[in-house]
């Protein structure tokens, strides 16, 4: 009988995704647990595995958006795996004369031939999506294994070549674009058209949805980073030696945000239909930029974790994001988000909400600026803070009070539960 392959629920706020890559073809025999396809959502990409063995019949093509619960393929479990080929007979032993003969020189093709490579899921996804030949990519990992960086570099070179091939220069010197290329350049070379990745399309749709469904307003403040910088510099060596991880700025802002959320609880809630849900736990999302787009892994129970625990969580998520190993459960269920545009040099911004959350804190670049201190003008390391919030649930007074509490905790870290 045929067993339906449905899109599983992959998160409380995720209702759809895109079938970006089929890892098995129509008519292939699959075993239970084999990866069938990659599902791209606005949060992460994940491989969907077969729940039973049989012959696969895909229904949905690559690149199509699908809803949670939608049938995308069937597996005929009445079909059995093809019989294994009989083992080849062992070659007879060499005669003494053959053994004594010098070995024949290998051809150049034989020398360069290598067995099929085993690829990690992250590398396999890039290879499949960019239509790369893994055997033609030089691996920099252990034993010549391909890393994600190798695959991304190869994809970049391929795209550059595609754009270059799209341009031909006839005798009259005028450029013309080839109509057969996927990435196309204008006739005069003024722009390049290329297809957006499934993940980028979902991120775009999610951001537009956030703008259309919430009354987003942003309020600003600034904080003096002197005290945190001094405390961090003073504690860094001992902290790193004790916990094997560096003390960064993000852990201070997570701690300060938790204190502010406790002071102004409404910012830690969300609107659902006609109800307002007040969260009494503190799962803080930390926005991380990757080559494939922005993801927001969640630091669970941030109020119960030490500075060292927070820094370890942040470091682990950053590594997993770079290697494409984040899971759906790493990215769902957050109550509040922090985004640090300062790492890219942003001086000021208005961050967009991460639905269904009602608030997001934007950190920015630390800049030496003149400021009034005890009636005198001094140059201090200052950071602009931005809180975007859903004005349907949060009033301006509450938003301002939240930012002031964050500012107070950063400018006087003794107000935080320091546990170095």
**For residue range 259-311, what is the model confidence (pLDDT) as tens digits?**
999 999 999 999 999 999 999 999 999 988 777 677 889 999 999 999 999 99
Q: How far apart are CA 127 and CA 134, in angstroms?
A: 7
Mean pLDDT for the stretch of residues 145-152: 77
Q: Where in the chain are the domains?
A: 2-76, 214-415
- Which is more confident, 328 or 249? 249
Q: Would residue 395 show up in a list of annotated catalytic residues for this protein?
A: yes
The CATH code of domain 214-415 reads 3.30.559.10
Mean pLDDT for the stretch of residues 78-101: 58
Residue ranges of E strands in 26-86: 29-30, 35-40, 45-49, 54-58, 64-67, 71-76
Mean pLDDT for the stretch of residues 367-373: 96
Q: How far apart are CA 394 and CA 269, in angstroms?
A: 9
Residues 6+ away with beta carbon under 8 Å from 86: none
Decide whether 2-76 matches 214-415 in CATH topology.
Answer: no
Q: How far apart are CA 154 and CA 157, in angstroms?
A: 5
pLDDT of residue 200: 77
pLDDT of residue 322: 80
Q: By the 8 A CB rule, do 38 and 197 touch? A: no
Residue 122 predicted with pLDDT over 80: no
Which listed residue (165, 301, 395, 419) is catalytic? 395
Residue 114 predicted with pLDDT over 50: no
Q: Which helix (H) or strand (E) holds 379?
A: strand 376-390
pLDDT of residue 10: 74
Fold annotation for 2-76: OB fold (Dihydrolipoamide Acetyltransferase, E2P) (2.40.50)
Mean pLDDT for the stretch of residues 62-90: 81
Q: Would residue 243 show up in a list of annotated catalytic residues for this protein?
A: no
Residues 6+ away with beta carbon under 8 Å from 106: none
The percent of residues above 90 in pLDDT, for the chain, comes to 53
Mean pLDDT for the stretch of residues 394-406: 98
Full-model pTM: 0.66
Residue 202 predicted with pLDDT over 90: no
pLDDT of residue 352: 94
């Amino acid at each position: 009988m045929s067993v339906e392959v449905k899109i599983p629920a992959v998160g409380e706020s995720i209702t759809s995704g895109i079938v970006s890559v089929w890892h098995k073809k129509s008519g292939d025999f699959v075993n239970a647990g084999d990866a069938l396809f990659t599902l791209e959502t606005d949060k992460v990409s994940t491989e969907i595995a077969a729940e039973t063995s049989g012959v696969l019949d895909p229904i949905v093509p690559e690149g199509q958006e699908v809803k949670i619960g939608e049938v995308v393929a069937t597996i005929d479990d009445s079909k059995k795996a093809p019989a294994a080929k009989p083992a080849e007979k062992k070659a007879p032993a060499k005669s003494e004369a053959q053994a004594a003969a010098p070995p024949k020189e290998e051809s150049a093709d034989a020398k360069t031939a290598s067995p099929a490579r085993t690829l990690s899921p992250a590398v396999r996804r890039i290879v499949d999506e960019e239509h790369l030949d893994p055997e033609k990519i030089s691996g920099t990992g252990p034993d010549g294994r391909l890393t994600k960086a190798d695959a991304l570099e190869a994809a970049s070179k391929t795209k550059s070549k595609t754009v270059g091939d799209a341009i031909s220069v006839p005798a009259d010197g005028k450029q013309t674009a080839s109509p057969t290329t996927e990435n196309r350049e204008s006739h005069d070379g003024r722009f390049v058209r290329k297809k957006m990745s499934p993940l980028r399309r979902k991120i775009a749709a999610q951001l537009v949805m956030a703008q259309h469904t919430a009354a987003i307003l942003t309020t600003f403040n600034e904080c003096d980073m002197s005290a945190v910088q001094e405390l961090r510099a003073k504690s860094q060596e001992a902290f790193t030696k004790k916990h094997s991880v560096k003390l960064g700025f993000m852990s201070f802002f997570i701690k300060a945000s938790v204190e502010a959320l406790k002071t102004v609880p409404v910012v830690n809630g969300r609107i659902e239909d006609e109800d307002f849900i007040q969260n009494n736990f503190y799962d803080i999302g930390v926005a991380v930029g990757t080559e494939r787009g922005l993801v927001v892994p969640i630091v669970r129970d941030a109020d119960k974790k030490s500075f060292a625990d927070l820094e370890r969580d942040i470091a682990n998520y950053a590594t997993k994001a770079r290697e494409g190993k984040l899971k759906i459960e790493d990215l769902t269920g957050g109550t509040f988000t922090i985004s640090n545009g300062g790492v890219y040099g942003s001086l000021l911004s208005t961050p967009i909400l991460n639905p269904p959350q009602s608030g997001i804190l934007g950190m920015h670049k630390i800049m030496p600026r003149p400021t009034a201190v005890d009636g005198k003008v001094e140059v201090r390391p200052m950071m602009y803070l931005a809180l975007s919030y859903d004005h349907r649930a949060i009033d301006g007074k509450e938003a301002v009070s939240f930012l002031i509490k964050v500012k107070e905790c950063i400018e006087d870290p003794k107000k935080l539960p320091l546990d170095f």
